[in-house]
Structure 1
């Protein structure tokens, strides 16, 4: 059985509104279930591939700040 997880995730959210995508992300985070992590990873990958360099740098700075706050 050949399962393309990326394709399945993208198919499940294709055509979703920004609000629906936000609900999906919030639900994935609040549930804390490990099985939700691949979906969030696909969202990140899609963003990263289409983002401009300035958007990527802003995201990386925000991630750095957030991760440092989690540790401290």
Structure 2
């Protein structure tokens, strides 16, 4: 069986509006379930690929701040 997880996740969220995407993210983060991590990873990959350099810097700054608080 050939399972392309990335493709399946993208198909699952295709056409979602902002509200639906936010609900997906909030649900994944709040649930804390390990099985949600691949979906968040695909969303992050899409964000990163669509971001300009300023937006990428912004994301990196936030991640650096958060990792420094661990």
Query: Normalising TM by the smaller chain, what interval?
Result: over 0.9
Unaligned runs of 5+ in 2: none
Task: Give the corresponding residue for 2:37.
Answer: 37
Could you report, residue by residue, the CA deviation over 1:5-42 in whole angstroms, capped at 9, with x for unpaired residues?
01000000001111110110010011111000000000
- TM-score of the pair, normalised by structure 2: 0.95
Question: What per-residue deviation string (whole Å, max 9, x for no partner) do you get for residues 39-65 of structure 1?
Answer: 000000011111101100110001111
**1:11 equivalent in structure 2:** 11
Q: Mind listing any 5+ residue stretches in structure 1 that lack a counterpart? A: none
- What's the offset of the Cα at 1:67? 1.7
Structure 2 distance, partners of 1:25, 1:42, is 11
TM-score for the superposition, normalised by structure 1: 0.93
Q: How many residues align?
A: 70
Moved over 6 A (4+): none
